[in-house]
Structure 1
Amino acid sequence: MKLPFTDERGNVLLEILDVPEAEAGLHTPLPLALMVARHEGRYLLVFNTWKKRWELPGGLIEADETPREAAQRELAEEANQTVPDPHWVGLAKFDLAPDRSHPDRRIEYGAIFGGEIVLLQPFAENEESEGIRLWQSAETLEDLQAIDALLIVHADAHWPPG
């Protein structure tokens, strides 16, 4: 994986930090948690209703939850899936392009977790997601969030044995 990587919207994945999960909060701001969920060797993606792109399940960490809890909640909300025992993958450092809610570039961190979906549950379309799919990194997929594809490759390379 070649970093830094800039996507088509100007967002930059600067690096993935190999820090212990307990030290993630030392890197701020840390508003985001993502789940790299795998089922039978393929990675779960959600089709974002607003962005019209395939991406990893994830989102904002609420005030009353840990990054781990946020990643698990987002996976359930966006994809109707669970990972019983997620593992810590690392901390992504982003240089984000301006958007509607942030008029200036900014540095943010995102907590990344991974885990196995034991039993794939039926998907129900919801406010955030129009669909789910299982993807292998060797497959070409139109409308895939490029940074998320890099995060999947990183998570796969650091997947615990077993």
Structure 2
Amino acid sequence: MRRTPKERLVSDGRGLILHSFHRVPEDTRFRDADIGLSLVALWHGDRLLMVYERDRATWELPGGGIDPGESPREAAVRELAEESGQIADELRFTGYGLYTLGRRRRLVYGAVYTGLTAVPRPFTPNEEISAIHWRAAGEALSGRVQPVDEYLAAVCAASRNAGSGPLA
């Protein structure tokens, strides 16, 4: 049986815990848990894309599970398009978060990507996502915002602003 790490960076109070964030190469594999999800922090200028997830009634970063045979990057591109209708012009790997998910307390790594789009695409509400919003820095949103995603968005913003790679 795997042990859940005791350390935590942030928790949402509903069972989602981010234990750590690893700035490692994208092809890294881990022994203690599988890579099971991908998230995207997508910017248009200085605004960050947030999606409103219906069932959780929460503003989040777009992302989700990795399908069998799919790479974390492929999952990030697919989830971004499925949830928001958006396509990143640039997509850079930022790192892996180690999470505990939900009631079953499953330990999983999640790939985190930072992206840019020059032209936002139209959004059509779907079964999972009822709205999107291009959020300005420091802007309060009406309703609950996922604190784990807030933390990861700040990590991605810092990486983006640090001048590493083409997203600077």
TM-score, length-scaled by structure 1 = 0.89
- Partner residue of 1:34? 39
1:22 aligns to what SS in structure 2?
coil
Q: What is the letter of the counterpart of residue 46 of structure 1?
A: V
Moved more, 72-81 or 141-150: 141-150
1:158 aligns to what SS in structure 2?
helix
Counterparts of 2:25 and 2:110, CA distance in 1: 14
The Cα shift of 1:30 comes to: 1.1
2:122 aligns to what SS in structure 1?
coil
Percent of aligned pairs with the same amino acid: 34
- Partner residue of 1:101? none
Do structure 1's residue 61 and structure 2's residue 66 form an aligned pair? yes
The Cα shift of 1:126 comes to: 1.0
After TM superposition, which residue ranges in structure 1, 4 or more long, deviate above 2 angstroms?
25-28
The Cα shift of 1:42 comes to: 0.9
Moved more, 124-133 or 27-36: 27-36
Counterparts of 1:71 and 1:29, CA distance in 2: 16
- Partner residue of 1:70? 75
Q: What is the letter of the counterpart of residue 113 of structure 1?
A: Y
The Cα shift of 1:121 comes to: 0.7
Counterparts of 1:80 and 1:97, CA distance in 2: 27
1:69-148 to 2 correspondences below 5 Å: 69-98=74-103, 104-141=104-141, 142-148=143-149
**1:137–1:153 CA contact under 8 A, matched in 2:** no
The Cα shift of 1:84 comes to: 2.3
Measured on the aligned residues, the alpha-carbon RMSD in Å equals 1.7
Counterparts of 2:62 and 2:92, CA distance in 1: 15
Counterparts of 1:66 and 1:11, CA distance in 2: 23
Q: What is the letter of the counterpart of residue 117 of structure 1?
A: T
How many residue pairs match? The answer is 155
The Cα shift of 1:107 comes to: 1.4
Structure 2: runs of 5 or more not aligned: 1-7
Structure 1: runs of 5 or more not aligned: 99-103
Counterparts of 2:118 and 2:127, CA distance in 1: 25
